[in-house]
Structure 1
């Protein structure tokens, strides 16, 4: 079996468990499958429980425009949204932009002002692509319904309102809180092939990570079954040929829940354990295309990573378009480490039109990018020198 065919087979086996939403039975089944694969390789697996306030998405999610034309908009409840008490009726008004994952992306908000004059629901229009759920920003009103719609529907609503049309809607949603939800981070510690290396540049630990969980509405082949399988393949390689420095592989839960799995992990590390980490390599979303995005901090570390990736692309005759963003986004697990002053790399073949969609299913092009990324990740983890530490970022 070729490397790509093996990656596709592994990805199909993982997503066969269903959506891996934090705290669900399907997430537990997927975690057990990953653990069983690792045990067969000879690795010991440590489970790190992450307990969070629970939430369920419900089954009713409706945004119906009743004027100036009648149209039902595809919509998903935002994570942690309250439900409605029956049907909320009112007119829309523009509330202004909002940052999702900090200021990583910017969406538009519309308020539904009901007949009593209250903002009784909020409609969130995505910046690009079809409707896709996201976690609510911190400080959101947890007493009203929040639903996500797609970019084009948001542009149409904004145009009507700008043209002084009265836009009326009916909103129904039955999501809401539930008892606490628990899933586990899965951790594998891989010892160096040469313990006590005399080279201080590669003697610390590298954390190679990705999130295992998905959103409630998708099996998440791209986001992030792909990264999870890439981690399994790295674990398989290192089981046979250990790296020259210690490596910790972590499959995080609750990335989709404001990074709470990786935040919990970082909070458990004492100062000495944090300092022992040379850098973090986060693999999140190896989509179908040839557009590779990297997010690296500190900036000088990013220069070195950029050069290494370009050299690997030339060596593999891979034609890519690339974007190197600084500072790192706050939308995935490396941000938990970056916020603690630990150097980090985030790699993704972004596939935004599959993000948090039921259509995010296994694809040979995803498997191709898994197979291409694994040797790159192995090389970065094994050879990149320890970056110089910079102070943890402040507010800006």
Structure 2
């Protein structure tokens, strides 16, 4: 018979107040960035996961590599030419898994839909059909944010022939991101453009008919596998608290914010927690995913393929993604209302402040845990703070220099506090974290 966990018997040791002092934290962070942007399929992601597996083995527990299939793809040529006014080349970069244009390019009229929100598409109505639509990227962490994939999906559904999304920040270049188009699904050529190109196209479209030639090519990569790294440390029950982070990124910068920060903090948290896991606590699992930037494909397949009995042992997911770049931390709690007091109590344990945001945001791997009825949160920095350094994600500016070590250490303290609270909750209270969620009441 397994022992009952009584949280009141497990003292909050002084280690929690100093958890951010891990001496290897910044070395790990810089080592991850040194692999490059770690785009899935580049080889950098595979090398970084191999490195992480070795770091995990030093922690103890059981370590294994898992491979899951995903829709691999490689970008080829990308070019955009303005054909009206003063014809010229404009900067562009294909969205991951963009449909290809004809070999000689796609010529079409640009329709400027501003932010590209649902109401913008509805207002344009049938005018979208047959056009290359222009929309704007938004700062991804805010209550009003609409993800690029939702804008792209609107363009596809309404008959657009092409999709351009502009960086809203001047002088920052193009961005990188996924269209989310599955293999074999309907899609249209789609590309990021820089602020200056967006301004040029908007001005041309406002003064009359504006045509462009867009050339994008891509190659489907059959039998692509995403490497995942899993560390499992058993406790006194079958239940697991899961700390997750994604290793893959984009190749414009070194994916320092998104997500070397999360991986480095997860490794340090595992080092701090491992010696404290015992028959008096639940178990810990640490998951490093790849193909996250490909519409969360790696974690989706990992969880979908898992035996339902094993999946039922996963009681809480603490997903770390872009946990530095600003001093303000927020937990996106995926419509699990019981996680709000849980996060607040953990923040008190760590003698710090962590905000919560209840509405579901499908912007990292926590979303796949949440959909399976597992209480899940994403810890992120800079929520609703668009002037923070977090605004460098998906850009060439996503490099180690935008990270303050103090912010990374604060994220480590918050992670340890949340994980420890989960590890030491009595089973009934741990199970109750799922209460009141639409994911569990509709299951």
2:392 is aligned to 354
| Distance in 2 between residues matched to 1:35 and 1:110, nearest whole Å | 37
Asked if structure 1 preserves the Cα contact closer than 8 Å seen for 2:337 and 2:358, the reply is no
Match of 1:123 in 2: 164
The CA deviation string for residues 73-129 of structure 1, in whole angstroms up to 9 with x for no partner, is 43221110133313433321246836899x9624566999xxxxx965321235678
Give the structure with the higher percent helix: 2
Aligned to 2:193: 149
Q: Tell me, what secondary structure is at the counterpart of 1:279?
A: strand
Deviates more, 1:5-14 or 1:209-218: 5-14
TM-score, normalization: structure 2?
0.74
**What CA distance in whole angstroms lies between the structure 2 residues aligned with 1:357 and 1:18?**
13
With over 3 angstroms needed to count, the CA separation of the structure-2 counterparts of 1:153 and 1:302, relative to structure 1, is: farther
Residues 1:370 and 2:408 are matched in the alignment = yes
- Normalised to the residue count of structure 1, the TM-score between the two structures is 0.82
Matches within 5 A, 1:262-341: 262-308=299-345, 310-311=347-348, 315-316=351-352, 324-341=356-373
SS in structure 2 at match of 1:238: helix
Give unpaired runs (5+ residues) of structure 1. Answer: 113-117, 197-202
Output one character per residue of 1:193-250: Cα deviation in whole Å (capped at 9) or x when no partner: xx24xxxxxx731111011111243321110111011111112223333262211110
1:392 aligns with 2:436: no
- Where 2:58 maps in the other structure, the secondary structure is helix
Aligned residue for 1:300, secondary structure, equals coil
Residue 76 of structure 1: aligned partner? 93
CA distance in 2, matches of 1:364, 1:172: 33
Gaps of 5+ in 2: 1-19, 119-136, 383-388
* Kept after mapping to 2: 8 A contact 1:105/1:127: no
Q: Does 1:50 align with 2:68?
A: yes
1:72 CA drift (Å): 4.2
Note if contact 2:175-2:395 (Cα within 8 Å) is conserved in structure 1: yes
Does the CA contact (< 8 Å) of 1:82 and 1:177 recur in 2? no
Q: 1:263-313: CA deviations, max 9, x gaps?
A: 112112333333322211100012322232321034422321442365367
Q: Distance in 2 between matches of 1:280 and 1:225?
A: 19
* CA–CA distance in structure 2, aligned partners of residues 356 and 24 of structure 1: 16
In structure 1, the residue matched to 2:58 is 40
1:281 alignment partner, SS class = strand
Q: In structure 1, which of residues 189, 197, 215 is the aligned counterpart of residue 250 of structure 2?
A: 215
8 Å CA contact 1:190, 1:238 repeated in 2: no
Please list the CA deviations of residues 137-171 of structure 1 after superposition, one character each: whole Å capped at 9, or x if unmatched.
4479756421012467546634543x342222232
Bigger strand fraction: 1
1:206 is matched with 241
